[in-house]
């Protein structure tokens, strides 16, 4: 279907604002996870949860609830009430930011619909963003809930799904925003070859797969299994890659295998990016050469950041920059694919 190129600057600014809030929420969620704060709030109240404990009695109650969780009994049994307040407020900020971000989606959308800025007959994608945002919040709670029953940590599958929903939201907002601010290529522009279209599709898909592997890495704490590069534990093929049975479980559940997948798949993405840049570098009438070169540059930096993250023991600052660089790669790959498809119509 031909994308709408009517270009509405106000709607585009809103969509890009929502995109920025999604990036901020992903970074904030990463900070909460890396500081071990995500399981501090053991319930989820959409309305009443906007007020934190205000009295000593309320704090004692909240801390008492937390003391019944696997995380407290297995990891934080020596935690004091003051230490609990610290991790509680980190997760509280995360949840409040999610509520505020949700209002940033729903209220402007209602305004645009009432004013007719977004016609109702063309509003389905925008309603989809609002619904997906709500589902993302529900998925966040389901993720937290998985760490409150038997395990002192959340399910790495739910964490990955939570991350991928954020990527889907980001992609939808950016794509619609690009439609509103980017005009169709002039008729004289060269039509991308089928090989270029395939490469841009593969590149975008590969980045999404790598982000999913990053989610599994985070959930399994697989960044800690090896601090060396290019060897892992002193070997090119470390022992334990296939230790789970059946073997296919290793691809998604073995920290050592997931780490290896995430590590080496980055170079696959770099090769695809170089092939795409080589394919479009002579097209001086489009933005494709510039953004393909930008993708390769950021990808190289991301690989170095990944190496630094594991070599330095997964420090919070470096890990968060690595995460944000991954979102940047996704946004660049999405923009490239958007422009390639636009030039084929």
- Contact between 40 and 87 (Cβ < 8 Å): yes
Residue 167 sits in the same domain as residue 211: no
**Over residues 197-212, mean pLDDT:** 98
Cβ neighbors of 130 (< 8 A, separation 6 or more) are 105, 106, 109
Residue 192 sits in the same domain as residue 173: no
Residue 258 sits in the same domain as residue 128: no
Residue 193 sits in the same domain as residue 342: yes
Structure tokens at 74: 């297995």
Q: Is the pLDDT of residue 186 over 90?
A: no
Structural domain including 37 reads 1-183
**Buried residues in 85-124 as b, exposed as e (16+ CB within 10 A):** bebbebbbebbeebeebbebbeebbeebeeeeebeeeeee
Residue 212 sits in the same domain as residue 116: no
- Contact between 243 and 254 (Cβ < 8 Å): yes
Cβ neighbors of 155 (< 8 A, separation 6 or more) are 143, 146, 147, 219
How far is the first Cα of the chain from the last one, in angstroms, to the nearest whole number? 9
pLDDT band at 182 (very low <50, low <70, confident <90, very high): confident
pLDDT tens for residues 45-64?
A: 877 678 899 999 999 999 99
User: Of 163, 183, 203, which marks where a domain is finished?
Assistant: 183
User: Of 183, 212, 236, which marks where a domain is finished?
Assistant: 183
Residue 167 sits in the same domain as residue 222: no
Identify which of 98, 179, 108, 107 has the alpha carbon closest to the alpha carbon of residue 139. 98
pLDDT value at residue 257:
97
Lowest mean pLDDT: which of 42-46, 150-154, 227-231, 307-311? Answer: 42-46
Q: How many domains does the chain have?
A: 2
HSE (side-chain half, CA atoms, 13 Å) at 45: 9
pLDDT value at residue 7:
76
Residue 80 sits in the same domain as residue 30: yes
Residue 193 sits in the same domain as residue 296: yes
Residue 90 sits in the same domain as residue 17: yes
Residue 39 sits in the same domain as residue 66: yes
pLDDT value at residue 49:
72
> How many CB atoms sit inside 10 A of residue 194's CB?
9
Angle (CA) 270-300-296 rounded to 5° is 55
pLDDT tens for residues 121-149?
A: 999 999 999 999 999 999 999 999 999 99
User: Of 183, 203, 220, which marks where a domain is finished?
Assistant: 183
Residue 123 sits in the same domain as residue 262: no
pTM recorded for the entire structure: 0.94
Give 192-232 as a DSSP string.
PPHHHHHHHHHHHHHHHHHHHHHHHHHHHTGGGS---SSSB
Residue 166 sits in the same domain as residue 39: yes
């Amino acid at each position: 279907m031909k994308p709408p190129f009517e270009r509405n600057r106000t709607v585009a600014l809103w969509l890009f604002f929502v995109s920025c809030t999604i990036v901020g929420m992903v970074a904030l969620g990463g900070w909460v996870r890396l500081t071990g704060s995500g399981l501090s709030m053991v319930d989820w109240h959409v309305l009443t949860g906007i007020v934190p404990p205000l009295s000593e009695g309320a704090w004692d109650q909240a801390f008492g609830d937390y003391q019944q969780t696997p995380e407290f009994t297995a990891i934080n049994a020596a935690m004091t009430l003051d230490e609990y307040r610290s991790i509680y407020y980190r997760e509280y900020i995360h949840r409040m930011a999610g509520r505020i971000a949700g209002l940033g989606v729903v209220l402007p959308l209602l305004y645009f619909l009432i004013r007719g800025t977004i016609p109702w007959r063309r509003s389905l994608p925008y309603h989809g963003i609002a619904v997906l945002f709500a589902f993302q919040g529900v998925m966040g709670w389901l993720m937290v809930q998985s760490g409150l029953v038997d395990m002192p940590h959340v399910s790495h599958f739910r964490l990955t799904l939570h991350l991928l929903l954020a990527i889907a939201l980001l992609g939808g907002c950016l794509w619609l925003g690009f439609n509103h601010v980017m005009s169709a290529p002039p008729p004289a522009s060269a039509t991308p070859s089928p090989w270029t279209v395939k490469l841009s599709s593969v590149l975008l898909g590969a980045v999404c797969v790598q982000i999913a592997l990053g989610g599994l890495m985070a959930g399994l704490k697989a960044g800690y299994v090896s601090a060396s590069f290019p060897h892992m534990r002193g070997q090119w093929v470390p022992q334990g890659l296939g230790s789970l049975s059946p073997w296919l479980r290793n691809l998604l559940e073995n920290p050592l295998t997931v780490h290896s997948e995430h590590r080496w798949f980055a170079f696959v993405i770099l090769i695809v990016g170089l092939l795409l840049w080589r394919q479009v570098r002579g097209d001086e009438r489009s933005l494709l050469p510039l953004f393909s070169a930008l993708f390769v540059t950021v990808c190289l930096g991301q690989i170095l950041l990944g190496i630094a993250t594991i070599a330095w023991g997964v420090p919070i600052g470096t890990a968060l920059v690595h995460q944000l660089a991954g979102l940047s790669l996704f946004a660049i790959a999405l923009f490239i694919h958007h422009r390639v498809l636009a030039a084929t119509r």
